[in-house]
Amino acid sequence: MTPEAHTLSAPSVGLLLHVLRQQGQDVETICRQIGLDQQLVQDVNARITVETVQDLWNTAIAATQDPDLALHVAESINPTSMGTIAYVMMNAPTLHESLLKLCKYQDIICGAIRTSLEVQGQQALVKLQIVSPALQNPRNALDSELVIYKNAFSALVGQELKYKQVLLAYPEPQSIKEHTRIFAGAELEFGATYGGLVFDAAYLKLPVVTANPELNQFFEQYAEEYLQKMHQPKTVRKRVQRQIAQLLKGEEPGISTVARSLAMSVRSLQGKLKEEGTTYQALLDEVRKQIAVKHLQDNQNTITDIAYLLGYSEPSVFSRSFKKWTGMAPAAYRQSMAAA
């Protein structure tokens, strides 16, 4: 996952600010203290960095003197207010399908935590793994997501689900009174390797009470497009590199082919790359070098195979290019890697 993906959707941050306002907190002052532009939060397509959201939680907790603020905020949030991902989940046929959609599209809400579903025998686990190094203190993020998930799953199937275990990937706080109340009946495990909710796998077969096949298809298409757009490289340089890597399969992709795939003219592409301080040839060489190094290290292909894979007409041309990039011939580089 790229650093750009370590963000949260602006609307999800807006929900936190909304709850704080309802509690009578001075949201304007809190945002000013952490440098958060409230106009940015109003933009449905904007993303807020993990660092900023952590500062927001810490400042809000200090203002409210409530160490369990994340639990209480999440309790106040209607799961349907989570936007596109909520609509996708609400229109899936079963809880199982709904949770798979959550895992697939969760980055739309938060890219710092990876959600996955594991089923072993009669037990199911919705696992929350911290994937962003920027998320130094995961308590608030995990508390809020776990409570939102708990409430959302019950709303989806129209009945309260009982959890066997709640996993919390942070040390046990001084008081766990609120955790015990909210997750009543479940065993709480603090200091776990990851966060999660453990429950009876039979629940997965329960139908979603709001399921609508036509709406499901509509919202999922929208979610898919949003996710692709969100993961789209921001610079032309990165977009060109990605296209070259995809097209470089035994034939050198020309600049006209890459420009066409990016819906740009060759002149426009060359101009954009010049603005970013590079050229098409430099990027082609860079991608070739990265792929060549990977294959030489893997030691699965011959040097001749690698040369043709990278679109070179002759292995000798590849060897000269590789030596120019690294100062070593491919064979010598492979030997040095093997020795190391």
- Domains of the chain are 3-226 (3.90.1520), 236-339 (1.10.10.60)
| Element spanning 104, H or E | helix 95-105
Give the DSSP letter of residue 251: S
First to last CA, the chain: 28
Place 340 in a pLDDT band, splitting at 50, 70 and 90.
low
pLDDT of residue 47: 87
∠ at Cα 218 (91, 233), nearest 5°?
Answer: 110
Is residue 296 within 8 Å of 337, Cβ to Cβ?
yes
The tens digit of pLDDT for each residue in 8-40 reads 888 889 989 999 999 899 999 999 999 988 888
Average pLDDT over residues 255-276: 90
Give SS3 for 175.
Answer: coil
Strand partners for 190: 168
Burial class (CB within 10 angstroms; exposed 0-12, middle 13-18, buried 19+) of 175: exposed
CA-to-CA distance for 107 and 194, rounded, in angstroms?
Answer: 17
Across the range 168-177, mean pLDDT stands at 96
d(C-alpha 68, C-alpha 31), whole Å: 20
Residue with tokens 């709904």: 98
**Cβ count near 170 (within 10 Å):** 17
Tokens encoding 264: 């740009």
Q: Exposed, middle or buried, 129 (CB in 10 Å: 0-12/13-18/19+)?
A: middle
Nearest-angstrom CA–CA distance, 44 and 295: 42
pLDDT at position 2, please?
A: 45
d(CA 332, CA 217): 54
Q: Which two tokens stand for residue 316?
A: 């000798």
Helix (H, G, I), strand (E, B) or coil at 184: coil
Among residues 155, 87, 152, which one has the least CA distance to residue 115? 152
Strand ranges (E), the chain: 7-9, 47-49, 113-120, 123-130, 163-168, 187-190, 195-200
In contact, 128 and 194? CB cutoff 8 Å: yes
pLDDT at 226: 82
Cβ contacts of 303 within 8 Å, gap of 6 or more? 296, 315, 318, 319, 330, 331, 334
Whole-number average pLDDT of the chain: 91
232, 219, 234, 238: which is closest to 105 by C-alpha?
Answer: 219
pLDDT at 140 over 80: yes
Which pTM was predicted?
0.70
Which residues sit opposite 167 in a β-bridge? Answer: 189, 196
Whether 238 shows a pLDDT value over 90: the answer reads no
How many Å apart are CA 154 and CA 161, to the nearest integer? 6
